[in-house]
Amino acid sequence: MTTATEGRELTEVGPGTVMGELMRQYWIPAAQSSELARDGAPVRLMLLGEKLIAFRDSAGRVGVMDHRCPHRCASLFLGRNEEGGIRCIYHGWKFDVAGNCVDMASVPPHQDFKHKVKAKAYPAVERAGVVWVYMGSSAKAPPLPAFEILDVPDDEVSVTFIQRECNYLQAIEGEIDTSHFGFLHAGHVDPDDVPEDDPVHHTITNRAPEYHITDAAWGTQYAAYRAAGPDSTYWRFANFLFPFWSQAPNGEFGSHVHARAWVPLDDGHTMFCFLRWKPGISALTQPQPAFKDGRPIGGTGRSNKFLPNTTDWLGRWRLVANASNDWGIDRAAQQSNAIYSGIDGIHLQDQAITESMGPVTDHAWEHLAPSDQMITRTRRRLLMAARALRDKGVMPPGAEDAEVFRGARSGYFVSDDKSSWQEIYARQLAEAVHPSPTPLRAAE
C-alpha cells in the first residue's frame, strides 16, 4: 500500500519537489523537431510544471526558455522570432537561444546593460527527430540516454507524441502491467480462433501469467511467463527505465528496438513520446490478424485521430476520443463482445483506463495483487532513488552512466531453454539484432 506521503512524493513533479528534482537530472523529450520552423512562431511548452517557449532561430538552433521576458515579465510567446533570436514585442528586448540578451532596443546605447540580463534558458539538442531539454542545475549536462533507438539514423525512427490527461505514474504503470492484455485488449478473442503459432495465442489461452521481477541497472524489469507446450515457455520481457521510460513487450524480442517516454507536463498531464525503429518487427509493423467474425486484437482501430494543435499550454497532440466523449465507447460493441471494452484501439483503451482514474489517482483505494509486483517494485525504486538524491546527493540510475540503458530490451519469444530467466534474457539479448552505435552519444 502506498501512503499519502509516498503518493505525493511519487506524483508531484514541479520545481523543488522530490520527484521533480530527480527528473531534472536527465534529458527530457520535449517536442518533435518538426514542430519548430526556422524563424517561425514560438511554441508553448509545459514541462515539469514550468511554462516555457521553444523556437528555432535563423541558423536552425533551438531555444527553450521561460516564457517570461526578464524585463517586465511579458510573455515571449508573443515575441518576434527574427534574425537569430526572440524579440519581446513590449520593449524590443531580444534574446538568443541561450537566453543571452543581445539587444535592448528601448535603452539608450550609453545606458545599455544587456550583458547583465539573461532569460532563464535550458540547453536543448536534437536527436531522432525530437527536441531534448536538460532542466537540471549542473553546469555540465549529462549524456543522452544510451537507448538503442538513438543509435539509428533519424530517418529510420518513427516518432509519435500523444498527450494523456493523467499523472505520469498512472501512464507508466499501465505500460508495465502485462496481465491486462488478455482482458482489456483481447477479452473478446476466443482461444480456439487463434493459431498456435501466433504470439498472441499464449496470452489468450492463459490470461493469468506468472512473473519474475527484479531491480535492474536501468530501473526495473519483469519477465512474464506462460507454458507454450510441454517443453517450451512463452516469455514477455519488459522494462521501466529511469526516470519515466518504458519498453513494452509488443514486438519480437530480436528486433524490437524502441523507447517510450511518459513525460510529466504537470501533475495531471503527460506527453507520451514513442520512438520506434522502423525495421523492427512489432505489433505496428505486422498485419493485424482478424479472428472470429473479423474481430482483431484491440478492435479495428490501428491509428489515433488527433484534434488540431492549439497554442494553449496543453494544446498539443490531443486525441479526438477523450474523457469529454467517453473515449468513444460503443456499448453495443461491448455488450455483443465485438470489442471487449467497447473502445476501439489498443492505445486508446490504455488511455481511457488511465485517464478514468482521474488526474492523480488516490492509491489508498487500491488492493494490489501478485500480478502488480512490477508496479510496487517500480514505485519503490523511484521513491528510494528520489530520496537518495535529496538526502545524500546520490545520482539516480543512468543520470551519469547513460550506458546502463544499453542493456535494456523488451519483447516476446518462445524458448525451450531451461536456464534461469536472467540467463535466458542475456542469451536472447546477445543474439538480437542491434543497430550499430553512432559516435554521437554525448549531447553535443
The model's pLDDT over 31-85, given as tens digits with 9 standing for 90+, comes to 999 999 999 999 999 999 999 999 999 999 999 999 999 999 999 999 999 999 9
Domains and CATH numbers, the chain: 32-134 (2.102.10.10), 148-431 (no CATH)
β 121-122/62-66 pair status? antiparallel
Matching residue, cell 543520470:
399
Region 185-201: mean pLDDT is: 83
pTM listed for this prediction: 0.94
DSSP state of 175: H
Neighbours of 350 (CB within 10 A): 22
| Residues 6+ away with beta carbon under 8 Å from 275 | 128, 130, 147, 149, 150, 157, 158, 159, 258, 259, 260, 261
Backbone angles phi, psi at 204, to 5 degrees: -90, -40
The shares of helix, strand and coil residues in the chain, as percent rounded to the nearest 5, are: 30, 25, 45
Backbone angles phi, psi at 168, to 5 degrees: -55, -35
Matching residue, cell 530490451:
409
- Distance, in Å, from the CA atom of 88 to the CA atom of 72, rounded to the nearest integer, reads 10
- Distance, in Å, from the CA atom of 273 to the CA atom of 244, rounded to the nearest integer, reads 11
- Distance, in Å, from the CA atom of 340 to the CA atom of 347, rounded to the nearest integer, reads 14
Is it the case that residue 96 has pLDDT exceeding 90?
A: yes
pLDDT of residue 429: 96
User: Using one digit for the tens of pLDDT, what is the confidence trace for 358-394?
Assistant: 999 999 899 999 999 999 999 999 999 999 999 999 9
Angle CA(73)–CA(75)–CA(77) in degrees, nearest 5? 155
Neighbours of 107 (CB within 10 A): 15
pLDDT of residue 292: 52
Look over the chain and give the mean of its residue pLDDT values, rounded to a whole number: 93
- Going from the C-alpha of 148 to that of each of 63, 137, 180, 432, 441, the distances in angstroms are 26, 27, 27, 12, 11
Confidence at 289, pLDDT banded by 50, 70, 90: low
Overall residue count recorded for the chain in this entry = 444
